[in-house]
Amino acid sequence: MRGTPIFFYIFVMWLLIIAGGALIVPIIAHISIQGFGKLDTLIDSLVKAAIALVLVIIWILIMSKIKNWIFHKQISH
């Protein structure tokens, strides 16, 4: 089946998107950092943004590995 790898790639991509939303919305959104006075909201936002950026980098690396695997598989045939 020629089109199967691309469907697998799209399936994994959507799984990562859904998993990211499931992780960020109920878990990370409820993180609250206190004890810094007026800087509470700024530090809270910076921590959440840093977590989101790390997750995006991980997802890009996963998708890149899957893409390379698909291309190597296609070239070897």
CA distance 7 to 27: 30
**pLDDT tens column, 26-76:** 888 888 888 888 888 999 999 999 988 998 899 889 888 888 888 887 777
Read off φ and ψ for residue 76, nearest 5 degrees: -70, -20
User: Residues 35, 22: contact at Cβ < 8 Å?
Assistant: no
The answer to whether the predicted template modeling score (pTM) of the entire model surpasses 0.85 is no
pLDDT on residue 1: 59
Each domain of the chain, given as residue ranges in start order, spans: 37-77
pLDDT on residue 77: 67
